[in-house]
Structure 1
Amino acid sequence: MSAAQDGANPLRKYKLVFLGEQSVGKTSIITRFMYDTFDTTYQATIGIDFLSKTMYLEDHTVRLQLWDTAGQERFRSLIPSYIRDSSVALVIYDITNRESFSQTSKWIEDVRAERGNDVVIVLVGNKTDLGDTRQVSSEEGEKRARDLNVMFMETSAKAGHNVKALFKKIAQALPGMDSGANDNNRTSMIDVALNASNQNATDGSNCAC
């Protein structure tokens, strides 16, 4: 992209906050998207981790700021301040853990309490590679998403299934990206540049996700 093009299309920044119970795969989804890797070891995220990724689309360049939140109750009080100025909230649950799915309504309520309707919300069922132990059907996830008027997708951070598709779907829905919302080809990723603010980001969800 030339300097002239950069001037004509200034970099748009969007804050994405990842929410959900402990061990559902929040960090693993981020790691798969950022580095296309998966860590089989588990280490809980402490507080908040931040990374960023620039996506070059056909007509736009966007900077996605990825905020990875801890799922433990003791960090819950920190989260509203990170939701407050977010463009996108991803509410993650583990398809093999019904309790994590049950809590998604509360997470979505928390987002709407802070952001109203000025936010894109995506309900994400993770760990589809563990289909044999699935406790939450795809139909249940889709129904909850419809009932709460949010987007929905299932992923496997471990297998890499649907992770790129998830972020492509988000890119199409970002505020100010309406011109490409109905044209999948216009929002395909051409190139990727990475910039991690925390090279030692801990993983709140690297267990078999």
Structure 2
Amino acid sequence: MLEVSSNQIYSETYKALRSIDIDWGIAKDSANLCKWLATHNQFFLGSILKTTDLYKSGNISTSVNDNTYDKPLSSALMGMVLVEYVASNNRTWEGYLNSPKFLVAAMDLISHEQKCHLELSDKHHNIIAITDKEKLYVNLNNLSNTNSYCYLNVTQKNTNYNINELILSDVSFASRVNKKCWEKLKSMAFDTYVPESDASKSGAGY
């Protein structure tokens, strides 16, 4: 195991995702979700590497409206977009999600920004996660699911939860990660990532 900083997690994840031609805005969102998971003592590295494999093979969706069990929506890549869509439009979304834990991270970040209450539940309408002001309550047993049919919606304030609050780790600036997986992520970033320059920015829609 290696100990890495949250800034390293953000930087290397962003560069690795850009190396497989993922849009820079989505890559930054995803890197922030990985950073959030790490600082909340949740595993992220194996899941984000699996996401890159699924993306390259075309077995994951980046469309909020088009997803199936065999091609679920990537919450690692589209989590921020999906939560912002639900929160700003006060809509209920339902569909298949890959790695719901990334969506939980997005829920926490967006709920702080927009001061809204969000609820994520499974196909049986059992709560997976819910935000309440500055707090986040999560059923940790459901965060390890790979593909799940879920509902995401804005909800009214509630104080009756049967799940635990999720808080920052005691050492939020550093996390322990699997050495082999970390080297794979860094290799993706190092081998094919082109550092930002005036030329690369002009070609990326800046």
TM-score (norm 1): 0.31
By relative contact order (CA 8 Å, sep 6+), the higher-ranking structure is 1
Structure with a larger share of its residues in helix: 2
